[in-house]
Structure 1
Amino acid sequence: MSYENTNCSFFLNLFKLLLLLIFYSADPCQRECGGIAIPYPFGIGKDCYLEKYYEIECRITTSRKLVPFLSVISKEVVSISLPSAESHFAYTITDQDRHESFGLVRVKFPITSTGCFSDGKESAGGLKMNFTDTPFFIGSTNSLIAVGCNSKVSLMYIKPNMVGCELSCNTSKDSHSNSIPFVETGCSSNVLSYSQDQGCTEETPEETGCNGNGCCQANLPNEPQQVIGIRTESNDGNSTTKVPCTVAFLTDEIFTSPNAIKREHLLAKRYATVSIGWVIQTKNNSFFNSLACKNREYYRNTSYFVEPEGKCTCARITISELSYANCGCTYGYTGNPYILDGCKDIDECKVKYEYCKETDTCVNLEGSYRCVGDKTRAIMIGAGAGFGVLVLVGGVWWLRKFLIKRRMTKRKKKFFKRNGGLLLQQELNTREGNVEKTRIFNSRELEKATENFSENRVLGQGGQGTVYKGMLVDGRTVAVKKSKVIDEDKLQEFINEVVILSQINHRHVVKLLGCCLETEVPILVYEFIINGNLFQQIHDKESDDYTMVWGMRLRIAVDIAGALSYLHSAASSPIYHRDIKSTNILLDEKYRAKVADFGTSRSVTIDQTHWTTIISGTVGYVDPEYYRSSQYTEKSDVYSFGVILAELITGEKPVIMVQNTQEIIALAEHFRLSMKEKRFSDIMDARIRDDCRPEQVMAVAKLAMKCLSSKGKNRPNMREAFTELERICTSPEDSQVQNRIDEEEEEEEEEEVVTTINRGDSWSIGVTAPAFSIVASPPSSDVEPLFPRLTW
């Protein structure tokens, strides 16, 4: 139970330490001036001190040095100290060392002189310190010191006794015995007054003290004094007698050298250091409540020693009939009791080794410490047993790790071989001269790059797999596509496609950097494109309109057409993308388009079409002719490109809902009908109306109509579409697109496709392609393929 409490205490202290670090790092107040620390409640500047009495001014002297001044009395500050923790609590129990339990401000006060100057520069009237109605007082840490001959120095306004001493310059050491007696520094620290002190038993005072022969001193009473004055007079009792040259002052300094108390030295020095005690006015109850300090009166009234429960205690005191409070850290703590959690635990084991025996071990506790007896033998036995257990556990752990690593290595080799890794290496070696920078990654590289395929790294998900954002060891940011499933019968075809796609080198096609075959399903690594996909930019309501102005859209259309034209005709082997849609068009930092996601693409020989037994694609983009014939040609990609052109012009999604109806219709069909009915202005995106050239938009719309023709033979190829778009960019008036579409002839020649969906029919859609039925997703799910099965 004690061990658990110690752990809880450790973590609690660590939490508090973090909070304090945050507090102090955020403290805007200056806490030092001229190398002197300024602890709270004192402070420099507005809102940095508790009350006006504690304001410190940091002034620049004539010597260009920073010096702190206590504003309320305009005196230079030498140091500021907080109440001492140990003596503070000792006072509450034994009433000893009471002066040490208060905070002190040491300031410089001028040294007064009488009869030493004839030019009137001295303070013959004496020095008066008045701290009435302030939280400051003069305590018994100070002494009255006078240097001179045949004079008497006393303190004024002192209660309850009169304090002072006499000076004489007789050569006899015992000459002062006939004078008014006073207690020397070597006898007692009690009040020095004009009364015989029977407690002095030493016959010879200390050599460093003042015995009345040229120098005398008197201690102040323990009671706090707020008004003190110094009076100097001749000791012959005649007030008219001129006072000899006498220097008198209050100070907390100890003079150890005889030269230090010579009049010439003191007059040249001009000031002495005085300790001023300080407390806190009790009228600020909210401040005291925030400190959460315990009431010291409880511990003072107990007849036995009771350790305080909190880190700090506060006691109410009365000075000049006014109530004040004095707070301090309790035993075992040190720090500033006037800030929240300012008292910190003292590590007694570092400063009080003598409290434990040499054979014992010191254990620091919160606010205390504990000595633990010697347990060397038990420790050695425990250490031996622990070491043995550690070796055993370590051996088991290493063996387990070794077996897991060996199993993972075998598993990776199995996947690599099953996924066609050997075949891919052979193909890459065979085509080494043509394949540029194709790389086979290992699984550890990609796990590290994607933080073990963390969900926080997911860029998108589709029917073919999940795409993650990764960072390679060389600093490159990549897109890592982890497939969901692969048909083992299609591995040869997959390997061929990886090799072919690695040969694609076009600035508007996302580059395939490599793949990983050590995992259960292959992983493809592409270059990372920063600005997302075209679908988001067009249809996301939160996207900036300025990024999708007409000029930007037209340039994107040209980029896409150029990439598809390259894939269809300029690549080493023609490649059909088979899934052209706006979500597969990525935008780089300059919003230039890049065609991505070749998961269902096919490479074919020249003039060869591709027959499939499974129709795949995305609702709204799939070629109707492909539905009917199951024959995918380059014109199928052209149709999907036409849908993207319609998206760019209208700003609509590929599947839209007809207004005031419950039907959902393909954008391609809606676009064609609107164009035939001469309602082009109704479908144009309102965001491009003001900044576009109408004839240019119309030219692109006519090209889109040609691309969306129901029959592939009536569509242009991608090279023609690319050339036409480039011509439209320069001079839309010279566009070669047919300016008039024979609507009646088009309706007679082409078969209509059912493209409407009833919302009440669970989003089912029927097509005229024989023996096929498909299930569509809502428009927001257009990243999913039309069919669940993936073909490579």
Structure 2
Amino acid sequence: MAPPATSTGGTLPELTNRTPFLGLKLYVLLLIAVLIVIATVILILVCVRRSRSSKKRKMRVKHSSGAIPLVSKEIVEVNTLELKIDEEVEIEIEESASAESPNIGWGRWYSLKELENATEGFAEVNVIGEGGYGIVYKGILMDGSVVAVKNLLNNKGQAEKEFKVEVEAIGKVKHKNLVGLVGYCAEGAQRMLVYEYVDNGTLEQWLHGDVGPVSPLPWDIRMKIAVGTAKGLAYLHEGLEPKVVHRDVKSSNILLDKKWNAKVSDFGLAKLLGSEKSYVTTRVMGTFGYVSPEYASTGMLNEGSDVYSFGILLMELITGRSPIDYSRPPGEMNLVDWFKVMVASRRGDELVDPLIDIQPYPRSLKRALLVCLRCIDLDVNKRPKMGQIVHMLEADDFPFRSEHRTNREKDPVHSKAAVSSKILYPTRHVEPADKSSWR
């Protein structure tokens, strides 16, 4: 028997016909199937959108969490720079994290109780440095390691500012001529920084302290200190992005270890400077006698300001004099003015610290004097970079020594003296400077 014809003349069942599935009509089943497909698509889209939103919220929380921003408000001059900071070394500080994770990012989180125990309750007997920034204590941690703990004074929020600046400037930096920042403590209003302990005092103490009739710093050691300091500053200026301008290079901020290796310290005044910026304009800070004239007069700061300060430091190493000394005669109070006059008068050999018992070779002295003069050039663009200064100071002395001895050998008396001196002092500069070479 043939199937009944549809209204259109076809043989397919009508949509209104009932189906075996729950007795529902065909069009109802089709409608249900379409709704299920639409609902499934909508559900998938909603899940994808929620997943993306969740990821964005997590990223925002990650970059905004913590008490210390990546670039603090203090460094407003470089807030438009796109700082290339690796996510692996982001600084995230939360007080609640101290109990859960003792190691956060680049450094160790120390509790206030740990540092109190290490310094015997911040005992006065453990004080190794003191200034307007705060007090530095020697501390011994539970594992026996020796550290220096700087307790920043909270003068109108200055502790918070210096804390942020130092963490930003050198928190991730490792260099043999920079004091290493081991960790930090931030509990309540307390802000402390924990450094590696450098066990031989400061350059200022060895140059200007009561060291006796003969300086414990001979010429070669002084040049070693100068080269080490220059290498540390060169790394800050040329090895980092953004570069770091120290802004307070001086003898009291150069720490020395037992082998007379120099380590630049105290980055509380440091500024960050991106490669596309030639300078930043900021409030003039630093130490009188070391501050470059263009920075003092305009507030325009760049790495050339550190170069000028290094030039003063090198003068200090050569002469043993402070940058400003009011106990000197009027013409000698200002080290720079006196230095320039002496060099112009070809009396450079008289600039050498009289406490140095063995005078430097004339050529070695001349090179050091030349570096000084180039560093303090009033035209900041003519000053050398710190990397160039390192090369200038490390120039090999051997050709100069050979030439010097050859000239001495022309005089039998001087030749015998030279041989005797060589036997007595085989590793030091033993011959006095030849004054005639300055004329």
**Shorter-chain TM-score category?**
0.5 to 0.7
Q: Residues 184-583 of structure 1: matches in 2 within 5 Å? A: 422-424=66-68, 430-432=87-89, 437-485=106-154, 488=157, 495=164, 497-542=166-211, 545=214, 547-583=216-252
What is the letter of the counterpart of residue 564 of structure 1?
A: L
Against the structure 1 CA distance between its residues 491 and 464, is the aligned structure 2 distance closer, same or farther, given a 3 Å change threshold?
Answer: closer
Against the structure 1 CA distance between its residues 668 and 585, is the aligned structure 2 distance closer, same or farther, given a 3 Å change threshold?
Answer: same
How far apart are the structure 1 equivalents of 2:296 and 2:395?
Answer: 32
What is the letter of the counterpart of residue 88 of structure 2?
A: R
Checking the alignment, whether the CA contact within 8 Å between 2:88 and 2:105 is kept in structure 1 is: no
Checking the alignment, whether the CA contact within 8 Å between 2:165 and 2:267 is kept in structure 1 is: no
The answer to whether structure 1 residue 677 and structure 2 residue 362 are counterparts is: no
The answer to whether structure 1 residue 724 and structure 2 residue 389 are counterparts is: no
How far apart are the structure 1 equivalents of 2:119 and 2:65?
Answer: 22
How far apart are the structure 1 equivalents of 2:281 and 2:156?
Answer: 15
Q: How much has 1:421 moved relative to structure 2? A: 8.5
How far apart are the structure 2 equivalents of 1:426 and 1:683?
Answer: 46
What is the letter of the counterpart of residue 475 of structure 1?
A: G
What is the letter of the counterpart of residue 239 of structure 2?
A: A
Checking the alignment, whether the CA contact within 8 Å between 1:497 and 1:603 is kept in structure 2 is: no
What does residue 374 of structure 2 align with?
Answer: 706
What does residue 257 of structure 2 align with?
Answer: 588
Q: How much has 1:647 moved relative to structure 2? A: 0.8
Against the structure 1 CA distance between its residues 715 and 728, is the aligned structure 2 distance closer, same or farther, given a 3 Å change threshold?
Answer: farther
Q: How much has 1:526 moved relative to structure 2? A: 0.6
Checking the alignment, whether the CA contact within 8 Å between 1:497 and 1:602 is kept in structure 2 is: no
What is the letter of the counterpart of residue 200 of structure 2?
A: N
3-state SS of the aligned residue for 1:515? strand
Checking the alignment, whether the CA contact within 8 Å between 1:533 and 1:585 is kept in structure 2 is: yes
Against the structure 1 CA distance between its residues 475 and 682, is the aligned structure 2 distance closer, same or farther, given a 3 Å change threshold?
Answer: same
Against the structure 1 CA distance between its residues 515 and 692, is the aligned structure 2 distance closer, same or farther, given a 3 Å change threshold?
Answer: same
1:490-515 Cα deviation digits (max 9, x unpaired): 96895364144121111011000111
How far apart are the structure 2 equivalents of 1:456 and 1:614?
Answer: 36
1:130-149 Cα deviation digits (max 9, x unpaired): xxxxxxxxxxxxxxxxxxxx
1:268-296 Cα deviation digits (max 9, x unpaired): xxxxxxxxxxxxxxxxxxxxxxxxxxxxx
Q: Give the gaps of 5 or more residues in structure 2.
A: 1-63, 72-84, 92-103, 403-439
The answer to whether structure 1 residue 600 and structure 2 residue 236 are counterparts is: no
Superposed CA RMSD in Å reads 3.0
Checking the alignment, whether the CA contact within 8 Å between 2:236 and 2:245 is kept in structure 1 is: yes
How far apart are the structure 1 equivalents of 2:360 and 2:338?
Answer: 22
* Structure in which a larger fraction of residues adopt strand: 1
What is the letter of the counterpart of residue 566 of structure 1?
A: Y
Against the structure 1 CA distance between its residues 619 and 719, is the aligned structure 2 distance closer, same or farther, given a 3 Å change threshold?
Answer: same
How far apart are the structure 2 equivalents of 1:565 and 1:655?
Answer: 26
Against the structure 1 CA distance between its residues 473 and 698, is the aligned structure 2 distance closer, same or farther, given a 3 Å change threshold?
Answer: same
3-state SS of the aligned residue for 2:179? coil
1:612-634 Cα deviation digits (max 9, x unpaired): 44211111111111111111110
Q: How much has 1:603 moved relative to structure 2? A: 1.8
1:620-654 Cα deviation digits (max 9, x unpaired): 11111111111111010001100111011111112
What is the letter of the counterpart of residue 565 of structure 1?
A: A
3-state SS of the aligned residue for 2:109? strand
1:695-728 Cα deviation digits (max 9, x unpaired): 1011111111110112211211111111111115
Checking the alignment, whether the CA contact within 8 Å between 2:218 and 2:358 is kept in structure 1 is: no
Checking the alignment, whether the CA contact within 8 Å between 1:577 and 1:637 is kept in structure 2 is: yes
TM-score if structure 1 supplies the norm length? 0.37
Q: How much has 1:678 moved relative to structure 2? A: 1.9
Q: How much has 1:733 moved relative to structure 2? A: 8.7
3-state SS of the aligned residue for 1:727? coil
Against the structure 1 CA distance between its residues 544 and 442, is the aligned structure 2 distance closer, same or farther, given a 3 Å change threshold?
Answer: farther
What is the letter of the counterpart of residue 348 of structure 2?
A: F
- Give the one of 633, 639, 655 matched to 2:324: 655
Against the structure 1 CA distance between its residues 463 and 495, is the aligned structure 2 distance closer, same or farther, given a 3 Å change threshold?
Answer: closer
3-state SS of the aligned residue for 1:509? coil
1:217-243 Cα deviation digits (max 9, x unpaired): xxxxxxxxxxxxxxxxxxxxxxxxxxx
3-state SS of the aligned residue for 1:485? coil
Q: How much has 1:519 moved relative to structure 2? A: 4.5
Checking the alignment, whether the CA contact within 8 Å between 2:127 and 2:137 is kept in structure 1 is: yes
How far apart are the structure 2 equivalents of 1:500 and 1:671?
Answer: 33
3-state SS of the aligned residue for 2:138? strand
Checking the alignment, whether the CA contact within 8 Å between 1:468 and 1:481 is kept in structure 2 is: yes
Checking the alignment, whether the CA contact within 8 Å between 1:609 and 1:631 is kept in structure 2 is: no
Against the structure 1 CA distance between its residues 433 and 614, is the aligned structure 2 distance closer, same or farther, given a 3 Å change threshold?
Answer: closer
Q: How much has 1:486 moved relative to structure 2? A: 5.8
How far apart are the structure 1 equivalents of 2:137 and 2:281?
Answer: 30
Q: How much has 1:475 moved relative to structure 2? A: 0.8
How far apart are the structure 1 equivalents of 2:325 and 2:351?
Answer: 12
What does residue 645 of structure 1 align with?
Answer: 314
Q: How much has 1:541 moved relative to structure 2? A: 2.6
Checking the alignment, whether the CA contact within 8 Å between 1:506 and 1:563 is kept in structure 2 is: yes
3-state SS of the aligned residue for 2:144? coil
What is the letter of the counterpart of residue 445 of structure 1?
A: E
What is the letter of the counterpart of residue 311 of structure 2?
A: G
Higher relative contact order (CA 8 A, sep 6+): 2
Against the structure 1 CA distance between its residues 482 and 729, is the aligned structure 2 distance closer, same or farther, given a 3 Å change threshold?
Answer: farther
Checking the alignment, whether the CA contact within 8 Å between 2:165 and 2:268 is kept in structure 1 is: no
How far apart are the structure 2 equivalents of 1:502 and 1:692?
Answer: 39
Moved segments of 4+, more than 6 Å = 425-429, 433-436
* Structure in which a larger fraction of residues adopt helix: 2
How far apart are the structure 2 equivalents of 1:473 and 1:516?
Answer: 16
What does residue 618 of structure 1 align with?
Answer: 287
What is the letter of the counterpart of residue 646 of structure 1?
A: M
Against the structure 1 CA distance between its residues 634 and 647, is the aligned structure 2 distance closer, same or farther, given a 3 Å change threshold?
Answer: same
How far apart are the structure 1 equivalents of 2:369 and 2:358?
Answer: 17
How far apart are the structure 1 equivalents of 2:65 and 2:399?
Answer: 51
3-state SS of the aligned residue for 1:522? strand
Checking the alignment, whether the CA contact within 8 Å between 1:423 and 1:495 is kept in structure 2 is: no
What is the letter of the counterpart of residue 125 of structure 2?
A: N
Q: Residues 64-213 of structure 1: matches in 2 within 5 Å? A: none
What is the letter of the counterpart of residue 337 of structure 2?
A: E
How far apart are the structure 1 equivalents of 2:218 and 2:400?
Answer: 17
Checking the alignment, whether the CA contact within 8 Å between 2:89 and 2:106 is kept in structure 1 is: no
How far apart are the structure 2 equivalents of 1:525 and 1:704?
Answer: 34
Choose 1 or 2 for highest CA Rg: 1
Checking the alignment, whether the CA contact within 8 Å between 1:537 and 1:543 is kept in structure 2 is: no
How far apart are the structure 1 equivalents of 2:377 and 2:241?
Answer: 29
3-state SS of the aligned residue for 2:171? helix
Against the structure 1 CA distance between its residues 466 and 694, is the aligned structure 2 distance closer, same or farther, given a 3 Å change threshold?
Answer: same
Q: How much has 1:598 moved relative to structure 2? A: 0.6
Q: How much has 1:448 moved relative to structure 2? A: 0.9
3-state SS of the aligned residue for 1:668? helix
1:743-784 Cα deviation digits (max 9, x unpaired): xxxxxxxxxxxxxxxxxxxxxxxxxxxxxxxxxxxxxxxxxx
Checking the alignment, whether the CA contact within 8 Å between 1:620 and 1:654 is kept in structure 2 is: yes
3-state SS of the aligned residue for 1:422? coil
Against the structure 1 CA distance between its residues 609 and 468, is the aligned structure 2 distance closer, same or farther, given a 3 Å change threshold?
Answer: farther
How far apart are the structure 2 equivalents of 1:732 and 1:725?
Answer: 14
